[in-house]
Amino acid sequence: MDSTRVTLGRAATTAWSRLLETYRPHATDDQRVPPSLGRLIEAARREATLGAMHPWVSMEQLGVSAGEDWEEWGHAPLPAMFARPDGYSVVGRTQQGDVVRLTTSDPAEAAAFAARLVGSEGIVRVEKPYAWPSEVETVLRDAGWHPGRAVDTRAWKERLEQDGFRSHAAAEGFLREFGELTVGHRGGGITRARGPFDLDPLLALGEADRFAEWSEEIGHRLFPVGELDHGHAFLGLDESGDLYVVSDWPARFGRMPEAMENLVIGVMPVRMPSSG
């Protein structure tokens, strides 16, 4: 079975935060009281492997999946964690059915066991965060970026879809990490001058027709993520994570995360041929 790649620090941070807001234990909810789903969620989020994945809750069950599509949950052979009246348990899924693999009174032990189960059975291959070149990382940090950054994208998505755009998972992931960043540097670059860019997708409001036309032309669905050089062109991301400059014609910076390097250090984007 092929493993699913999950990148640490870039998956589901917002979803974990929302769960904790809903299920966070009370200050008096210590280990002497019955098991708590909130304590299980807190413990699972601290595990790097689980915290990099998307969490799902059903009744007293906590599960994870590699993506944000709820249909993925339950189809992959990933373990499930339960806060039962008599303790915490971890259930593994096998070809013969669900099997209880661990029962414990400690939510941290249950979460750690589930994380080891995910890793040891090769279900998910966890990748380390991308290592930015020092120059690029300095520019991004100066703009407000940091590892594990996650902003709420719901308002952007709703507003832009009302305007006629069609979002996709790659754009939502990009905006969670980089949305609202403004880079103002100028100067010489590698194959083009470095220019400022603003990663605010709402700057493209009113341009849905242009994005739709170029999406059809190149055969990929472009969603706005900001603008380049104070509005001289827009920035868009396709469903595969390729970053484009969108003007009178689209040109491709490459696939993320390398595309961000090209944008920052001044690499000329490659003009796209028509799909025809």
- Could you read off the pLDDT of 33-89 as tens digits, one per residue? 567 899 999 999 888 888 888 888 888 899 888 776 655 555 566 789 999 988 999
Q: Is residue 102 part of a domain?
A: yes
| Same domain, residue pair 83 and 99 | yes
Q: Is residue 176 part of a domain?
A: yes
Residue found under tokens 């992959």: 76
115 Cβ contact partners less than 8 Å away, ≥ 6 residues apart: 44, 47, 48, 49, 50
| Same domain, residue pair 191 and 102 | no
190 Cβ contact partners less than 8 Å away, ≥ 6 residues apart: 265, 266, 267, 268
Q: What percent of the chain has pLDDT over 90?
A: 50
Q: What average pLDDT does the segment 3-15 reach?
A: 52
Residue-wise pLDDT for 222-248, tens only, equals 999 999 999 899 999 999 899 999 988
Q: What is the pLDDT of residue 169?
A: 84
Helix H, strand E, coil C: the string for the chain is: CCCEEEECCCCCHHHHHHHHHHHCCCCCCCCCCCCCHHHHHHHHHHCHHHHCCEEEEECCEEEEECCCCHHHCCCCCCCEEEEECCEEEEEEEECCEEEEEEEECCHHHHHHHHHHHHHHCCCEEEECCCCCCHHHHHHHHHCCCCCCCCCCCHHHHHHHHHCCCCCCHHHHHHHHHHCCCEECCCECCCCCCECCEECCHHHHCCCHHHHHHHHHHHCCCCEEEEEECCCCEEEEECCCCEEEEECCCEEEEEECCHHHHHHHHCCCCEECCCCC
| Same domain, residue pair 147 and 104 | no
Q: What is the pLDDT of residue 19?
A: 84
In terms of residue numbers, what domain contains 89?
4-127
Indicate the pTM of the whole model.
0.60
Q: What average pLDDT does the segment 154-180 reach?
A: 93
Q: Is residue 44 part of a domain?
A: yes
| Same domain, residue pair 114 and 181 | no
| Same domain, residue pair 22 and 138 | no
Q: What is the pLDDT of residue 8?
A: 42
Q: Which of 93, 109, 127 is the last residue of a domain?
A: 127
Q: What average pLDDT does the segment 169-176 reach?
A: 90
Tell me the average pLDDT of the chain.
84
Q: Which of 68, 97, 127 is the last residue of a domain?
A: 127
> Structurally, how many domains does the chain consist of?
2
Residues in the chain: 276
Q: What is the pLDDT of residue 97?
A: 67
Q: Is residue 194 part of a domain?
A: yes
Q: What average pLDDT does the segment 202-217 reach?
A: 94
| Same domain, residue pair 218 and 157 | yes
Q: Is residue 14 part of a domain?
A: yes
Q: Is residue 252 part of a domain?
A: yes
Q: Is the pLDDT confidence value at 217 over 80?
A: yes
240 Cβ contact partners less than 8 Å away, ≥ 6 residues apart: 170, 220, 255
| Same domain, residue pair 121 and 174 | no
Q: What average pLDDT does the segment 176-180 reach?
A: 94
Q: Is the pLDDT confidence value at 221 over 90?
A: yes
Q: Is residue 276 part of a domain?
A: no
| Same domain, residue pair 144 and 215 | yes
Q: Please report which confidence band the pLDDT of residue 128 belongs to, taking 50, 70 and 90 as the band edges.
A: low
| Same domain, residue pair 109 and 202 | no
Q: Is the pLDDT confidence value at 276 over 50?
A: no
| Same domain, residue pair 256 and 142 | yes
Q: Is residue 82 part of a domain?
A: yes
Q: What average pLDDT does the segment 179-188 reach?
A: 93
Q: What is the pLDDT of residue 124?
A: 53
| Same domain, residue pair 80 and 143 | no
Q: Which of 127, 157, 175 is the last residue of a domain?
A: 127
Q: What is the pLDDT of residue 26?
A: 59
Contact 224, 212 (CB under 8 A): no
| Same domain, residue pair 170 and 109 | no
Q: What is the pLDDT of residue 243?
A: 97
Q: Is the pLDDT confidence value at 125 over 60?
A: no
Q: What is the pLDDT of residue 96?
A: 63
